[in-house]
Structure 1
Amino acid sequence: MQTKSTARGGTRGPYAKTAARQREILEAAVAVFGSKGYSAGSIQDVADRAGIAQTTLLHHFPTKAQLLVAVLEYRDEISPDTPGTREHFTEVVVQQAKNNEGVPHLIELYSVLCGEATTEDHPAREYFVKRFERLRGEYSNELRYLASIGRLRPGIDPGIAGPTIVALWDGIQTQWLLNPEDVDVPQTLKAYLDLIIISPETGSAQQPMADSSGS
């Protein structure tokens, strides 16, 4: 009796072929939706890009909306939102920005779909609403932790600075897509984070100032 997978070889047979076909479709959809947008890019465009019949595509993804959801999940799998790790927040953000430069097609897809999703009936609207809500909360919480250990500069409100990081990242990333030679996303993000976060070498913002009166 044949098994679906082996410990070393992974998935085999029809399951492997199905997974490979779906990946081809998703890559094609990334290219089509990234260049034309979801509204203008058609199922036929994706099928043509993948080199398959439209009926074959619809066998894997019965509707265009289901294909879009799968594309967004695929994007998150390839380019996940990883910033966090407490004391190393700045380093992780900068490294993720550098990693994103290696998948410009996914960044283009994200930017195009994010812009389109502002319309009420767009199938990706809920995805982006939840994503931004999550990121605002996560980044603000990371900054609150840094404030608790004296690593956030005085006067910085984590509830405002967290969403600012999200907005800056998306905005400068769009500028990078338009003019990659003149825009440095990692350095821009680091410059802002250095303004609000105190490096470990500098010392704690919560340390009391020395009394200069001499008394």
Structure 2
Amino acid sequence: MSDPSPPPRTGAKKRAHGSAPKSAPKTAGASAKGLARREEILNGLMERLSGQELRNPSLREIGRALGIEPAHILYYFSSREELLQQVIMRWDEGARRAAPAAANPLDNFVQQVRRNIAMPGILHLYFTFAAEAVDPAHPAHHFFQQRFAAVSASLAGHIRAQQTAGLISAAMDPDSKARQLIALSDGLQLQSLVDPTVDAYREMMDAIATMCQAQ
């Protein structure tokens, strides 16, 4: 998986000139207690998003699920968008940590599909943000650019190595095939959200097996 730079914080409102500043999320998050509370909110939200409990929730729905007031959440996160972006980044970091260091990128890639479909709420959130981030002005645009570029480069590099070893057809364009695999993976996972009978993992395994047999 990629190791993208965090998207910028968003949603903070400018205060009126001369108004007394209240305690800001940045100040709250700077202390050990504040950091621990941020972690508690993030972990609680990830747990609920991992199942069917929440799907792209509003701030009020998040607060209700966690048993806290929305204003309390905004004490630690500048906006709902920042909180949800942090969830996506935490999910991405978890995927990298879960990937065996000795496994090849194709194996890691397809195993991540299996992991994703077991967390429908986070998968739904990921696709929602990915669609919105097509807009260059979206705060997560750079995150997704970096993520797609890194995953594509990793897959293409492995395909080239397999071509050199004579295991994959040399006529195949590694960069194009990497993009096709990402598109297929995203498409199958999206279909699995709409129709749970779609086995995205098995179909990805079949596609990779077909690619490796194309000599």
- Normalization by structure 1: what TM-score? 0.70
| 1:107-126 C-alpha deviation (Å, 9 max, x unpaired) | 11111111121123322211
Partner of 1:140: 156
Partner of 1:107: 123
Q: 1:172-187 to 2 correspondence within 5 Å?
A: 172-181=188-197, 183-187=198-202
CA 1:31–1:53 in 2, change beyond 3 Å: closer, same or farther? Answer: farther
Partner of 1:192: 207
Amino acid in structure 1 at the alignment position of 2:201: P
Equivalent residues of 2:124, 2:193 under 8 A apart: yes
Q: 1:65 Cα shift?
A: 3.9
Equivalent residues of 2:42, 2:87 under 8 A apart: no
Equivalent residues of 1:156, 1:196 under 8 A apart: no
Is 1:55 matched with 2:71? yes
Partner of 1:202: none
Q: 1:98 Cα shift?
A: 2.0
CA 1:26–1:107 in 2, change beyond 3 Å: closer, same or farther? Answer: closer
Q: 1:140-159 to 2 correspondence within 5 Å?
A: 140-159=156-175
Within 2, Cα distance between the matches of 1:70 and 1:126?
14
Equivalent residues of 1:83, 1:89 under 8 A apart: no
Partner of 1:23: 43
Q: 1:35 Cα shift?
A: 2.7
Higher relative contact order (CA 8 A, sep 6+): 2
Within 1, Cα distance between the matches of 2:170 and 2:141?
36
Which residue, out of 167, 178, 183, partners 1:167? 183
Rg larger in structure: 1
| 1:173-212 C-alpha deviation (Å, 9 max, x unpaired) | 111111111x12122112221222149xxxxx5xxxxxxx
Q: 1:73-92 to 2 correspondence within 5 Å?
A: 73-80=89-96, 88-92=104-108
The size of the alignment, in residue pairs, is 182
Q: 1:85 Cα shift?
A: 6.7
CA 1:141–1:90 in 2, change beyond 3 Å: closer, same or farther? Answer: closer
Q: 1:162 Cα shift?
A: 1.0
CA RMSD in angstroms, aligned pairs only: 3.2
Partner of 1:3: none
- Normalization by structure 2: what TM-score? 0.70
